[in-house]
Amino acid sequence: MFGVKTLRTVGTAVCRRGASVLWKPTRTQSRTQSAAAGQRVDIGGIYPPIATPFTQKEDVDYQKLDENLQKYAKIPFKGLVVQGSNGEYPYLTEEERVEVVRRVRLALPTDKLVMAGSGCECKALSTKATVVMTERMAGAGADLVLVVTPCFYKGMMDSRALVHHFTQVADSSPVPVVLYSVPANTGLDLPVDAVVRLAQHPNILGLKDSGGDITRIALIVHKTKPQDFQVLAGSAGFLMAAYSVGCVGGVCALANVLGREVCELEQLCVSGRWEEASALQQRLIEPNTAVTRKFGVPALKQAMEWFGYHGGTCRSPLQPLSEAESQQLRLDFSTNGWL
């Protein structure tokens, strides 16, 4: 039993880049009914994959989390990704992970989507455990789940195994599934042929691709067009290029810090103002690299402090930035005019 993607025959003008949510299951509504109505979730837009603030003792600081959420609620995000890598989810317990999702859903306006990571990314849990976690996330209020490629036994994770895994998860998930390919963390790309097959599953409606290979991304958009499959860029670094080849949005760590600016880039792309988009895109690359590949979550949290959010420390084994790293981080923002 699962939530359902749009029926192609329905005439409602589904704008891939539109801002409105055409269909979002309520807690009480029968999903089958929704399906019958042929509605779908339009996931197009920008999502920050939010960070998890901790107290001095490294406990989750729900108070600070709430304060961040109040600020994010005012930015034209399509929604939030909770328990992505930037949320340090690998270092949270299962209970913490579920509780954070619950808090986020409560704090956010209902027109913002909550996309919860349930795939346990490099945690490499079994298919069964992912199924269970998916149900818990939906139970805590997630509108969508983001399910990463299992990666532990890399060599064995061929298309056959991956299609089997995601199909099992999607078959049983109460909410729609977004696939997640992030080779920098997992060491493997979800193969294009697997994506094409999975796109045909009625409960899988999109892909977050963090690899940044724009040729591959364009090919996926091309080959899943019959299914109206929705592809999200996994980083602000190639957001504009992704829009140019047909992506519908992005999950961008940088949006935790420069949320309005990333949304502005989205709008410029969606409205076809490519020259302005290009100028803005270029200024976002260095800060984006700094809070992701270059210095990671500790840098993201450091920059959040500079821009009025609660960032704070990470859980060990993640270490705080050195003084030199912190200065370089600042430079990556200031030379582009953001500080």
Among all chains, which residue has been given the structure tokens 């979550």? 297
* Nearest CB to a copy of itself, comparing residues 67 and 91: 91
Instruction: Pick from 39, 52, 85, 118 the residue near a copy of itself by CB under 8 A.
Output: 85
CA pair distance 322, 299, nearest whole angstrom:
10
Distance of CA 233 to the CA centre of its chain: 9
Distance of CA 101 to the CA centre of its chain: 14
How far are the Cα atoms of 38, 229, 337 from residue 5, in angstroms, in the given order? 7, 9, 42
Contacting residue, 110, 282, 327, 334, with a copy of itself by CB under 8 A: 282
Identify the residue among 7, 75, 241, 339 touching a copy of itself (CB under 8 A).
241
Near a copy of itself in 160-219, by CB under 8 A: 160-162, 164-165, 168, 184-185, 187, 212-215, 218-219
Report if residue 255 touches a copy of itself, rule: CB under 8 A.
no
Closest separation in Å from C-beta 30 to a copy of itself:
29
Nearer to a copy of itself, 34 or 85 (CB): 85
> Judged by CB under 8 A, which of 28, 156, 323, 324 binds a copy of itself?
156
DSSP secondary structure letter of residue 258: S
Scanning 101-109, 170-178, 271-279, 301-309 for contacts with a copy of itself by CB under 8 A, the matching segment is 271-279
Distance CA 314, CA 298 (A): 6
Residue 301 among the catalytic residues: no
Q: Is 74 in the site for a copy of itself (CB under 8 A)?
A: no
18 binds a copy of itself (CB under 8 A): no
Active-site option among 78, 112, 208, 301 = 208
The 10 Å CB-count burial string (b at 16+, else e) for 282-314 is ebbbbbbbbbbeebbbbbbbbbbeeeebbbbbb
Of the candidates 13, 26, 316, 324, which one interacts with a copy of itself according to CB under 8 A? 316
Q: Smallest gap, in angstroms, from Cβ of residue 305 to a copy of itself?
A: 18
User: Residues touching a copy of itself: how many (CB under 8 A)?
Assistant: 69
> Alpha-carbon distance 11 to 127, whole Å?
37
With tokens 């504009």, the residue in question is 240
Helix (H, G, I), strand (E, B) or coil at 273: coil
Q: Report the C-alpha gap between 118 and 84 in whole angstroms.
A: 9
CB-CB contact of 181 with 146 (8 Å): no
* Environment class of 207 (CB within 10 Å of its CB; exposed 0-12, middle 13-18, buried 19+): buried
As a whole number of angstroms, the distance between CA 333 and CA 287 comes to 5
Pairing of strands 113-117, 79-82: parallel
Is 38 or 127 the residue whose CB approaches a copy of itself more closely? 127
Should residue 56 be labelled a site residue for a copy of itself when binding is judged by CB under 8 A? no
Q: Catalytic residue numbers?
A: 208
**Binding interface with a copy of itself (CB under 8 A):** 58, 85, 90-91, 93, 121-129, 150-157, 160-162, 164-165, 168, 184-185, 187, 212-215, 218-219, 221-222, 235, 237-238, 240-241, 243-246, 272, 274, 277-278, 281-283, 285-286, 289, 293-298, 315-319
